[in-house]
Structure 1
Amino acid sequence: MYKIPGHHHISMITKNAQINNQFYQKVLGLRRVKKTVNQDNPSMYHLFYGDLTGSAGTELSFFEMPMAGRTIRGTNAITQIGLLVPSFESLEYWKKRFEQFDVKHGEITTYAGRAALPFEDTEGLRLVLLNNNGEETPAYWSAWEDSSVDLEQRILGMGTVEITVRYLNRTARTLRDMLGYEEVARSDQEAIYQSVAGQAFGEIVVKEQVGPSEKPGRGSIHHLAIRVKNEEELVFWDEVVKEQGFQSTGVVDRFYFKSLYFRDSNGILFEMATDGPGFTVDSTVEALGKKLDLPPFLEDKRAEIEAGLKPID
């Protein structure tokens, strides 16, 4: 059985790509590594932010849906994104930065065993900065030197992701029994799972909460993508997903990576995505995110697609 090496990316909904772009680049100091469109609906932007090249495990992605209403929070949803920072001093740095930019945030606290600083973006998306405390991160994560954030305080990549569900044991079976995550903590209404022992870059917290399901809108999380190394592994996992009785999309070529999608028995949407070929397949490192990139099958519709999109910085 193959081992999941961590998170790949996570995808959210934004109502306004320009405001979203401003927050994640200028406030959080991430690099916009790809400006493209939703391949299933090319009328909407799909923006990716991350490290120098948008390495797997650093990517935050957003679909722009101008008609999106507000999120009505509830259960059976992915409810919070952890982002790793180098040290406890980094949390203090970010608290001051959030005050400077009028970002809604809490106090420094503890989350999943780490010092943490919770905050929200401009649309109420819940995030939390986590002290990585000098621990290992994937060797290929690369800092973006032009970030507005001090190099020693920058966001490293994705950390603990929180999922809230009506029936904890159902998602537990998906992560532990099907995907091979290790259950490292458990209480009546919460469990922690890791794909790489001791590391937050593959960690998921599952919380049990009764009540109505979340109604998605701006600032909600659409799906979590987890890493697989290559297409061979993806084909293996496609069979595993189907053997467990879940519906799989089968392998989908997203040009920048290949994926499959499935929902677990709580309705949580998971993607499994390959490491490569990555965002430099159609761009130099220097030019990443600067122009609208389209996969080859959409290139002949470029004029029509560009005409329907509002320009963003």
Structure 2
Amino acid sequence: MQTISGLHHVTAISGPAQQNLDFYAGILGMRLVKKSVNQDDPGTYHLFYADAAGHPGTDLTFFPWSHMAPSRAGHGLATEVQLTVPTGSLDYWGERLTRYGVKVGGVETRFGDRVLPAVDPHGLQVALVESADPTTRGFEPWAHSPVPVERQVRGLHGARTWQHDKAPTAWFLTNVFGFTERGTEGGWTRYVIGDGGPGRVLDVRETPDERRGAWGTGSIHHLAWRVTDEAHELIVRKAVEEVGLRPTPVIDRFWFKSVYFKEPGGVLFELATDGPGFAVDEDAGHLGETLVLPPWLEGQRAAIERAVPALTYPPQV
């Protein structure tokens, strides 16, 4: 059976959109490749940060729902997003993040990788993971990033989740999604696609004594997994359905096709196709510069533009 090939994107919930943009584009130096709206709640932005080309697997996205309460830690949620940075760059990143007042932890070693944990302005746990450039996805450096090319974020590395009971999720990951168990360390079990590495890592921790987590600002909303095209997506969707889960029909997100479902432990997963991609409606050299709406929302443009706040791209810092 065709299985997923790794992470497509991770979507999280933030506070005010301008603060989110200042951090991810201004401090982390990622490119805003799409400025759109939540298609189910068009009165709020959906902001997409990635490499210069918006390759699948490099994309971290946000719903700025600043009216929400902070998230509640607990099982059934993804608890951390991991971003790949080049080998030998953590000293640079530690100094840069500290200079801008970002809360950072000490450098850790996780399953042989050097990792710098940090917290974004709205409470999201973000870990920078040193790794050689990935071979499983493309990467195009952003020429206008405030971060030098040799230090730039390469894309998604992986994620972490808490589970009340690890066994059902482990069974699903290995028998439906094609993960293999890499090992256990410090209470975390690592699952990998293929040989692992950037974009193909999921860490799971069993937390039977924790309450169920709740979405809020600073939480991950869902993890999206890569499928090649809609035919591949339907194959994986069928496999998900056959094990008793309840995937949605295919939903056209315009830049990719999506299927959503909750894995056995309650974390919201998405299947997302690699194409058509972010350049389908914008020139590749001007991604993210204007508010882009899918065709079915164009008739509401005036009302949407009144509802969302103006954004100012952060200066080179």
TM bucket normalised to smaller = over 0.9
Percent identical among aligned pairs is: 38
Cα distance in 1 for partners of 2:185, 2:146 equals 40
1:216 — aligned with what? Answer: 215
Once structures 1 and 2 are overlaid, which stretch shifts more, 24-33 or 70-79? 70-79
SS of aligned partner of 1:246: coil
TM-score between the two structures when normalised by the length of structure 2: 0.95
1:59 — aligned with what? Answer: 59
Once structures 1 and 2 are overlaid, which stretch shifts more, 72-81 or 225-234? 72-81
Cα distance in 1 for partners of 2:138, 2:68 equals 35
Q: How big is the shift at 1:190?
A: 2.9
1:109 — aligned with what? Answer: 108
1:1-45 CA-partner distances (Å, limit 9, x unpaired): 113221100000112001001100000000000000011111110
Q: How big is the shift at 1:139?
A: 4.6
The AA in structure 2 aligned to 1:85 is V
1:106-150 CA-partner distances (Å, limit 9, x unpaired): 111112320111101001100111110x25333522111111001
1:266 — aligned with what? Answer: 265
The AA in structure 2 aligned to 1:275 is D
Cα distance in 2 for partners of 1:231, 1:123 equals 35
2:134 — aligned with what? Answer: 136
Within-5 A mapping of 1:292-311:
292-311=291-310
Q: Residues 3 and 195 of structure 1 are in contact (CA less than 8 Å); yes or no, is this contact kept in structure 2? A: no
Cα distance in 1 for partners of 2:111, 2:14 equals 27
2:315 — aligned with what? Answer: none
Q: How big is the shift at 1:186?
A: 3.7
1:158 — aligned with what? Answer: 156
Which consecutive aligned stretches of 4+ in structure 1 deviate over 4 angstroms post-superposition? none
The AA in structure 1 aligned to 2:38 is N
1:192 — aligned with what? Answer: 190
Structure 2: tracts of 5 or more residues without a match: 313-317
Within-5 A mapping of 1:167-186:
167-186=165-184
Cα distance in 2 for partners of 1:307, 1:123 equals 24
Q: 1:292 to 1:26 in 2, by over 3 A?
A: same
Cα distance in 1 for partners of 2:230, 2:104 equals 40
Cα distance in 2 for partners of 1:31, 1:200 equals 19
Q: Residues 76 and 166 of structure 1 are in contact (CA less than 8 Å); yes or no, is this contact kept in structure 2? A: yes
Once structures 1 and 2 are overlaid, which stretch shifts more, 111-120 or 280-289? 111-120
1:16 — aligned with what? Answer: 16
**Paired positions, count:** 311
Q: How big is the shift at 1:187?
A: 6.5
SS of aligned partner of 2:121: coil
The AA in structure 1 aligned to 2:232 is E
1:147 — aligned with what? Answer: 145
Cα distance in 1 for partners of 2:289, 2:186 equals 48
Q: 1:195 to 1:67 in 2, by over 3 A?
A: same
Q: Residues 55 and 137 of structure 2 are in contact (CA less than 8 Å); yes or no, is this contact kept in structure 1? A: no
1:78 — aligned with what? Answer: 78
Q: How big is the shift at 1:226?
A: 0.6
Q: Residues 13 and 65 of structure 2 are in contact (CA less than 8 Å); yes or no, is this contact kept in structure 1? A: yes
Cα distance in 2 for partners of 1:18, 1:187 equals 38
The AA in structure 1 aligned to 2:195 is A
Within-5 A mapping of 1:213-292:
213-292=212-291
Q: How big is the shift at 1:189?
A: 4.5
The AA in structure 1 aligned to 2:286 is A
The AA in structure 1 aligned to 2:223 is L
Q: 1:109 to 1:187 in 2, by over 3 A?
A: closer
2:125 — aligned with what? Answer: 126
Once structures 1 and 2 are overlaid, which stretch shifts more, 28-37 or 165-174? 165-174
Q: Residues 168 and 190 of structure 1 are in contact (CA less than 8 Å); yes or no, is this contact kept in structure 2? A: no
Q: Residues 182 and 197 of structure 1 are in contact (CA less than 8 Å); yes or no, is this contact kept in structure 2? A: no
1:48-95 CA-partner distances (Å, limit 9, x unpaired): 00101211111110011131111221222100111111112x000001
Q: Residues 33 and 279 of structure 1 are in contact (CA less than 8 Å); yes or no, is this contact kept in structure 2? A: yes
Structure 1: tracts of 5 or more residues without a match: none
